[in-house]
Amino acid sequence: MSTDMIIVFFGELSTKGKNIMDFIRLLGKNIKHALREFGSLEYEIKKDHIYILLNGCDYESVKSKLLKVPGLLSCALAKAVQKDLNSLQEEALKVYLETGKISFKVDTKRIDKTFEIHSDILNREIGAFILEKAETSRVDVHQPETIIHIMIREESAYVYAKKDSGIGGYPVGIAGKSMLMISGGIDSPVAAYLMMKRGVKLECVHFAAPPYTSQKVIDKIHDLLKVLTDYQPSIKLYIVPFTELEKSIYEIAGPSYCVTIMRRMMLRIAERLAYQHNCLVVSGGESIGQVASQTLHSMKVIEEVGSLPFIRPLATYDKTEIIALAKKIGTYDISIRPFEDCCTIFTLKDPVTHPNSEKVKEIESRLDYQKMILDCVKNVEVQYITDEEEEF
């Protein structure tokens, strides 16, 4: 049975001061949850690293889940070796050759202080062995292309060099909660991913306008959120019945101010839900200048109705950058399925790019929207999307 071990590296976490153990414990909890299908794994949660003993589990399968856990910078497969010089030399040579690099150095950590050979002697003896056996090898202690790490622990010695990169960021939940507005488009799922990556736990709100928008849109949102459960294992989705309010807005506002007012209503509702469910901020997938409602002028007028911070992780991203990220996280193919958004069901000619705040207020004063907002909030449908396999 494999006694190999995974070493987890933290990255930005390591800059945290006194509360560093809170971060590491939460990361450990999130990792254990993500890897719960691998029953025989054993964990050691320490200040420098999290160690995961494989106990026979396959590294590649574990790795594919592990690397998606926010807060993990990278991980390495450390090969278990007998605690004697010869075994260490042989394994170190193998690991070095696998890297395909030329210049190297050996770096030993002797955690088991009873081990008789000291770190600097191990570094020298193992380095000399590699130099002798691998013809083109060269030692460079200052800027090596690869470092051969040796770790002497109580139960075994370990050798590793290559690290596999994770997504970095912070463990989900450490930063508090946000209410994220999710449409079925490309942008909002990417914004969701970036929020999660930064340690923010999300609850999501979607505005639906049946019968103008169909169940297919809700299915699409489900599929998108299902992909995102790789990063946050359980996501709560609020579906707001928006049809009545939207129709009234359209009747009163006319085409050019319709979107601005609709966005203000969405924000009012999203904030109510945010307050109800202890979210500290609201977030969404807007990118500066992408459409009329996303100019800075529009954002200002829309945000006037809010009191919570509104975070837009994609504000400065180009569409090509957003698409690349959507492909990387696996939401793109779902996002491009055709769908009707509640904002696109009425054809709106020339939506205003520089809305006038006074004019917006004047239009809204002709709309008895308070009651409709209350109805929207009261009739919200709540659903849970989890990373559990679905039963058919």
Where does this chain bind ligand ATP (CB under 6 A)? 181-183, 185-188, 205-207, 284-286, 290-291, 341-343
> By C-beta, is 30 or 294 nearer to ligand ATP?
294
Residue 146 interacting partner from ligand ATP, Mg ion, none (CB closer than 5 to 8 Å by kind): none
- The one-character DSSP state at 196 is H
Least distance from ligand ATP to the Cβ atom of residue 138, Å: 50
In the complex, least distance from residue 313 CB atom to Mg ion, rounded to whole angstroms: 12
Place of tokens 């060269």: 138
Give which of ligand ATP, Mg ion, none residue 206 binds (C-beta under 5 to 8 Å, depending on kind).
Answer: ligand ATP
The closest residue (CB) to ligand ATP is 185
Residue 78 or 182: the one with the smaller Cβ distance to ligand ATP is 182
Rg of the Cα atoms in the chain: 27
Which tokens in the block code for residue 219?
Answer: 């299915």
Residue 156 interacts with which of Mg ion, ligand ATP, none, CB < 5 to 8 Å by class = none
**Closer by beta carbon to ligand ATP, 9 or else 242:** 242
- The encoded tokens of residue 311 equal 């975070």
Task: State the minimum distance, in angstroms, from the CB of residue 322 to ligand ATP.
Answer: 8
- Nearest residue to Mg ion, by Cβ distance, number only: 187
Least distance in angstroms from the C-beta of 154 to ligand ATP? 51
Smallest separation (angstroms) from Mg ion to the CB of 171: 28
Residues that bind Mg ion (CB under 5 A): 187
In the complex with ligand ATP, the residue whose CB is nearer, 50 or 180, is 180
User: Taking Cα atoms as reference points, which of 253, 252, 245, 299 lies closest to residue 272?
Assistant: 245
Nearest to 13 by CA among 26, 24, 3: 24
Is-contact 303 267, C-beta < 8 A?
A: yes
**Distance between CA atoms of 285 and 315, rounded to whole angstroms?**
8
From the list 201, 367, 220, the residue with the least C-alpha distance to 274 is 201
**What's the CA gap between 386 and 234, in Å, rounded?**
4
State the minimum distance, in angstroms, from the CB of residue 314 to ligand ATP.
8
Backbone φ and ψ for 74, nearest 5 degrees, come out as -160, 170
**Taking CB within 5 to 8 Å according to partner kind, which of ligand ATP, Mg ion, none is near residue 341?**
ligand ATP
Question: CA nearest 143: which of 194, 91, 105, 96?
Answer: 105
CA-CA distance, 107 to 101, in Å (whole number)?
A: 16
Residue 127 or 189 having the CB closest to ligand ATP: 189
Beginning with the edge strand found earlier in the chain, give each strand of the sheet holding 281-283 in spatial order.
310-311, 281-283, 177-181, 201-208, 234-241, 381-386
5 within 8 A of 75, measured Cβ to Cβ = no
Q: Select the binding partner of residue 188 from ligand ATP, Mg ion, none (C-beta < 5 to 8 A, by kind).
A: ligand ATP
**How far is the C-alpha of 40 from the C-alpha of 30, rounded, in Å?**
17
Minimum distance from CB of 290 to ligand ATP (Å)? 6
